[in-house]
Chains A and B, each alone.
Chain A
Amino acid sequence: MKFPNPLSPFPWLDDLLNRLLAPHLREEIMGDLHERYQRRTQRLGESNARQRYWRDALAYVRWSNIKRQSNPYPTTYTYSPTMIRNYFKIAFRTLTRHKLYTALNVAGLTFGITCFLIIGLYLFDELTFDQQHRNASRIYRVIEHKKTKTDDLTIAAVSYKLAEESKKSIPEIETTARMTSFGRDNLSNPETKDKFHLTINLADENFMKIFDFETIAGEKQTALKEPNSIVITEKIAQKLFNNTEVVGKILRFDFTEKPLKITAVIKNHPSNSSFDFESLLSESTFNDDAEFQQSNASDWSSHNYTVYALLKKSAQSQLVGTKINALVQANYKFETGTTVGYLLQPLTDMRLHSDHIATGSTNVGSGKGSILYIKIFGIVALFVLLIACINYMNLTTARATNRSKEIGVRKANGAFRSHLINQFLFESLLVTLLSFVLSIGFVNLLLPSFNAFTEKQLSLGFHSDYRIWLYTTIAVVLTGLISGSYPAFLLSRFSPLALLKTLKLQNQGDLSLRKGLVVFQFTISVVMIIGTIVLFRQIQYVSNKDLGFSKELLLVVDINSGDVRKNAQTIKNEISKIATVKNISVTTRVPGEWKNIPTIKIRPEGNTDEHSISYLLGVDEHFTNTFEVKLVNGRNFAGTDDSTSILLNETAASMLKIKEAAGQLVEIPERSMGGSYSPLRNGQTFRARVVGIVKDFHFQSLREKIAPMVLAYQNNPVHSIDYFTSRITGNDVPNTLAKINEALIKIDPAHLLEYHFLDEQLARFYADDHRRETMLIWAALATIFIACLGLFGLATYTAEQRVKEIGVRKVLGASVFSLTTLLSKDFLKLVLIANGIAFPLAWWATQQWLEEFAYHINVEWWVFVVAGASAMFIALLTISYQAIKAALMNPVKSLKTE
């Protein structure tokens, strides 16, 4: 109880005292205080009284006055076990009485939570990439940002000396580890001759120390210390030995005579690791290789190594980056015009924040994730859940009128507002919990197929990470609270008198909020439909776009050994004899390939301008027929002795300002495999004549614009051949493959056949898009479905509410059609408004996404029409069922009662 006293000299002091004093003493004490003050004012004057007031007030501050009186009677505590039991009982009764609405609510929430959980698991996996290492928070990858006059590159690879010296001279760096890959080779078990073709990875001894790769056998700390040591994964051990206890056994790589001793077997990389190496060779294996040692000794500028730095606990990565920069600048003089900067990228950012890194990360990880899509999916997941919550809110508030009697009686019997709030919240929590249990079942049902298509190993069970369960529980409780809060606070607010007298809730604001929520639901649904259509169309466009060459039925066979490379001509002849092979060409790289295509510096001879940059592909005279690339000008390669001729694509031709190919001389002094330019193999400038121009073709993903491309002859000094590509008829592919293999084995009996179909390979560029598309389609469907469930519920309810009105109208001669229109109109209006909001939103969002592609579709107007119309149509279907049912009902039935 608080007594405001306008005469009080210090209202705030009163306020303080009021709070401090025990409630049962407040009245007398405050009364005494004020009476004394009044009397003193009369006797001693105001200022004196005010002073005394202070002292009096303070005299009351003692424990006996502050201590609260204990209540001798038991109170009905809102959360007492009895009450909780009662909440559950009532909730259960209400839910079972209205089975249809309960089913709608549970279905909506189950769908929402299932979607949320699946997307959530996916996101969790993406966001926890590379966190399995104990020191993950202290490990950084060294990134180089290199800017030359012509190029601006971010590379996740640096030089040998940087790795070596930085750990010695920069105190913040505890140690560094490095890894490099070069080519692929056969790894074999000399005892059984079993072979496996894989990338050769070289790592220094620290590599196994700073990362926590789980070892099955062997000593991790010293695994890469000794020369000729090799660490292999469980998978390789199983393939070569059928056993994982293979430490101490010997393996061989074809490229070296040295026997390699297995020092450790590590577990296969978990699905949320960026590392995917299958074997690691100790760097010290090359200690006796003079050339290797020499090239490293002065190497401050190459991009040969992926370097990881383990920082000390308190070190700041930015500062260390600056120090590395200073260290390199002090030891190496870069060309004028070239600026180089070093950065440290946290290990845990490698997966999602590497979009800007051009090259050098090839020896780490298969796919890069994208933080943009993570965000999109996060938002989508939340929206789906939110829509499910809104469903619940809408249906519950709409049906509240039916419960006004119950609420009124409860209130009249002395229920506090908190009791009612709790009751509604318990109801929603019960529904959510039920949905949650159902969704766990659904998720486990769906995960196998979801895993198959995302290539992940997600699971939800007792063994799941505790954080998954923590977040899930929080999400579910929040869902329950959000769904229940609005009905709870709204319904408990009304006065019992009004409730019992009119048995109706008169609440306009409530209705418009409900409308707003329906609009919101449909806005999101329509945006997602449009997004999905655009995504789908873009992927269609990409896979059907004329690439400038024909990608179907192209069989690409890798050249995996020196012997095969030397005898390429013979093999070509052999293969071309096969009946099902129409054409065969040998090239250094294939269009749409996933490995680096080298770039070169090029300029017309005699020109002293800065060199231009172009990609280079070594091909033969059959390239144009095999790939069906059109020659627009000049001539094709003439034959084996035409090695100083080159062809240009149209972009390169226009870059070099060549209109007609007429043997113009160009010089190519340097090449780069990503990162830095170095002189050609023979150390000389490659001088070539431009003999022809080919039509532009897409040799990279459609995300990139067509770049200048030089087609040199197969035996060029820039890059050696690596692939046979045959155009096949498509009949009897296994037989064709067997024959090709025969031709190869004739030359090199040890050669392992590796092949792929180019169109499948190209599709990989867009595999991630395909996945996203599929996920988005499902999410969009779920959103629409849930929104429609909500609409269905609302329509059912409205029809129920207006049953008398419809009866009267029918009696007066209204047709079924006009009644259906009457009932549907209100809802369709909402969906229409939602369309109006969704269109600009969707337009903006899809435009944003399409920007990512250099070649993309335009978002056409019909997409919006289709999306809007389908939303309307689905909504109409949902509503009309109830509307028609209500309209068809016999008016006698509805008007008879009362």
Chain B
Amino acid sequence: MRRSDLGEFEEVVLLTVAVLAPNAYSVSIAEELEIETGQTVSTGAVHAALQRLEQKGYVTSQLGEATSERGGRRKRIFTVTALGGRILNDVRQVRNRLWDRIVPQVTLKWN
């Protein structure tokens, strides 16, 4: 898999799906991201990212239960596929390797 397949936002969303499993759907993901990043995240953006991820085969979805606050509509629950998990792993390893190679003095200067 080429790296460019996974955008930064997509990567974060994919991670959040993994974090929130088995209860990851647009609203919960958006709220989680808001809490984590402190930025406003619209469900629309999340939804679009999820659609792309599903297309790429990193997540699968099925319809979950309906709640009254949704006006009786069902939610779409997402789970990370094996492929998605591997990609996350790859990304993480690349990052880790790079982090590991940063000289400690440089990191100190940032703080």
Residues of A within 8 A of B (CB): 3-5, 7-8, 27-36, 38-39, 52, 55-60, 62, 64-65
B96 CB–A CB distance under 8 Å: no
Contacts of A64 in B (CB 8 A): 48, 51
Contact of A31 with B70 in the complex, beta carbons under 8 Å = yes
CA distance A30 to B47 in the complex (A): 12
Closest B residue to A30 by beta carbon equals B73
Contact of A28 with B31 in the complex, beta carbons under 8 Å = no
CA distance A30 to B69 in the complex (A): 11
CA distance A482 to B42 in the complex (A): 54
CA distance A3 to B71 in the complex (A): 7
| Interface locus among B12-20, B22-30, B86-94, B98-106 | B22-30
CA distance A115 to B95 in the complex (A): 90
Instruction: Name which of A3, A32, A33, A57 has the most chain B CB atoms within 10 A of its CB.
Output: A32
CA distance A59 to B30 in the complex (A): 13
A32-B47, A56-B43, A59-B42 known; A7-B71 Cβ under 8 A: yes
Which residue of B42, B51, B73 is within 8 Å of A34 (Cβ)? Answer: B73
CA distance A35 to B28 in the complex (A): 10
- Cβ contacts B57-82/A at 8 Å (1 or 0 each): 00000010011011111111000000
CA distance A741 to B40 in the complex (A): 115
Contacts of B26 in A (CB 8 A): 28, 32
* Nearest chain B CB to A478 CB, angstrom units: 46
Contact of A34 with B47 in the complex, beta carbons under 8 Å = no
- Cβ contacts B37-54/A at 8 Å (1 or 0 each): 000101111011001000
Task: Indicate the size class of the contact surface on chain B.
Answer: 20 to 34
A sample of 22 inter-chain contacts (CB < 8 A) reads A7-B71, A27-B73, A28-B47, A28-B74, A29-B47, A30-B73, A31-B66, A31-B74, A32-B26, A32-B27, A32-B43, A33-B43, A35-B69, A35-B75, A36-B43, A39-B31, A56-B43, A59-B43, A62-B44, A62-B48, A64-B48, A65-B47
Contacts of A36 in B (CB 8 A): 27, 30-31, 43
Contacts of B47 in A (CB 8 A): 28-29, 32, 60, 65
Contact of A31 with B44 in the complex, beta carbons under 8 Å = no
Closest B residue to A14 by beta carbon equals B71
Contact of A35 with B51 in the complex, beta carbons under 8 Å = no
Which residue of A4, A35, A52, A59 is within 8 Å of B70 (Cβ)? Answer: A35
Which residue of A3, A56, A57 is within 8 Å of B72 (Cβ)? Answer: A3
- Per CB-CB distance, the 5 closest pairs between chain A and chain B, nearest first, are A59-B44, A31-B73, A5-B71, A31-B70, A38-B69
Contact of B71 with A31 in the complex, beta carbons under 8 Å = yes
Contacts of A58 in B (CB 8 A): 44
Which residue of A28, A34, A59, A60 is within 8 Å of B76 (Cβ)? Answer: A28
CA distance A338 to B67 in the complex (A): 91
* Nearest chain B CB to A356 CB, angstrom units: 71
Closest A residue to B66 by beta carbon equals A31
Contacts of B48 in A (CB 8 A): 59, 62, 64-65
Contacts of A28 in B (CB 8 A): 26, 47, 63, 73-76
* Nearest chain B CB to A287 CB, angstrom units: 90
A3-B73, A27-B73, A64-B51 known; A35-B67 Cβ under 8 A: yes
Closest B residue to A43 by beta carbon equals B31
Contact of B42 with A55 in the complex, beta carbons under 8 Å = yes
Closest B residue to A6 by beta carbon equals B71
A59-B42, A59-B44, A60-B47 known; A34-B75 Cβ under 8 A: no
Contacts of A35 in B (CB 8 A): 27, 67, 69-70, 75
CA distance A738 to B74 in the complex (A): 108
Which residue of B30, B44, B71 is within 8 Å of A30 (Cβ)? Answer: B71
- Given A27-B73, A32-B25, 11 new contacts (CB under 8 A): A5-B71, A8-B71, A32-B70, A32-B75, A34-B71, A35-B27, A35-B67, A52-B42, A62-B44, A64-B48, A65-B48
CA distance A162 to B78 in the complex (A): 91
A56-B43, A60-B44 known; A39-B73 Cβ under 8 A: no
CA distance A56 to B42 in the complex (A): 6
Contacts of B74 in A (CB 8 A): 27-28, 31
Contacts of A3 in B (CB 8 A): 71-73
Contacts of A57 in B (CB 8 A): 44
Contacts of A60 in B (CB 8 A): 43-44, 47
CA distance A35 to B42 in the complex (A): 13
Instruction: Name which of B31, B42, B51, B72 has the most chain A CB atoms within 10 A of its CB.
Output: B42
Contacts of A65 in B (CB 8 A): 47-48
Closest A residue to B43 by beta carbon equals A32
CA distance A57 to B66 in the complex (A): 20
Contacts of B70 in A (CB 8 A): 31-32, 34-35
CA distance A760 to B76 in the complex (A): 94
Contacts of A56 in B (CB 8 A): 42-44
Instruction: Name which of A31, A33, A36, A38 has the most chain B CB atoms within 10 A of its CB.
Output: A31
Contacts of B66 in A (CB 8 A): 31
Closest A residue to B30 by beta carbon equals A36
CA distance A251 to B42 in the complex (A): 98
Contacts of A32 in B (CB 8 A): 25-27, 43, 47, 70, 75
* Nearest chain A CB to B35 CB, angstrom units: 11
Instruction: Name which of B42, B66, B70 has the most chain A CB atoms within 10 A of its CB.
Output: B70
CA distance A790 to B31 in the complex (A): 73
Which residue of B27, B45, B71, B72 is within 8 Å of A59 (Cβ)? Answer: B45
Closest B residue to A29 by beta carbon equals B47
Contacts of B30 in A (CB 8 A): 36
* Nearest chain B CB to A48 CB, angstrom units: 11
* Nearest chain B CB to A363 CB, angstrom units: 81
Which residue of A7, A31, A39, A62 is within 8 Å of B75 (Cβ)? Answer: A31
CA distance A615 to B97 in the complex (A): 124
Contacts of B51 in A (CB 8 A): 64
Closest B residue to A27 by beta carbon equals B73
* Nearest chain B CB to A150 CB, angstrom units: 86
* Nearest chain A CB to B65 CB, angstrom units: 11
Closest A residue to B31 by beta carbon equals A39
Closest A residue to B73 by beta carbon equals A31
Instruction: Name which of A5, A29, A36, A39 has the most chain B CB atoms within 10 A of its CB.
Output: A36
Contacts of B67 in A (CB 8 A): 35
* Nearest chain A CB to B37 CB, angstrom units: 16
Contacts of A39 in B (CB 8 A): 27, 31, 69
CA distance A3 to B43 in the complex (A): 19
Contacts of B25 in A (CB 8 A): 32
Contacts of A62 in B (CB 8 A): 44, 48
Instruction: Name which of A7, A55, A56, A65 has the most chain B CB atoms within 10 A of its CB.
Output: A56
CA distance A8 to B66 in the complex (A): 17
Contact of A34 with B43 in the complex, beta carbons under 8 Å = no
CA distance A31 to B71 in the complex (A): 7
CA distance A36 to B26 in the complex (A): 9
Contacts of B44 in A (CB 8 A): 56-60, 62
Contacts of B76 in A (CB 8 A): 28
Instruction: Name which of A5, A27, A52, A55 has the most chain B CB atoms within 10 A of its CB.
Output: A27
Instruction: Name which of A57, A58, A60 has the most chain B CB atoms within 10 A of its CB.
Output: A60
* Nearest chain A CB to B29 CB, angstrom units: 10
CA distance A31 to B26 in the complex (A): 10
CA distance A439 to B31 in the complex (A): 75
Contacts of B43 in A (CB 8 A): 32-33, 36, 56, 59-60
Closest B residue to A55 by beta carbon equals B42
Contact of A34 with B45 in the complex, beta carbons under 8 Å = no
Closest B residue to A42 by beta carbon equals B69
Contacts of B69 in A (CB 8 A): 34-35, 38-39
Instruction: Name which of B25, B27, B48 has the most chain A CB atoms within 10 A of its CB.
Output: B27
* Nearest chain B CB to A15 CB, angstrom units: 13
* Nearest chain A CB to B21 CB, angstrom units: 18
Contacts of A7 in B (CB 8 A): 71
CA distance A4 to B71 in the complex (A): 8
CA distance A64 to B50 in the complex (A): 12
* Nearest chain B CB to A460 CB, angstrom units: 62
Closest B residue to A62 by beta carbon equals B48
CA distance A33 to B43 in the complex (A): 7
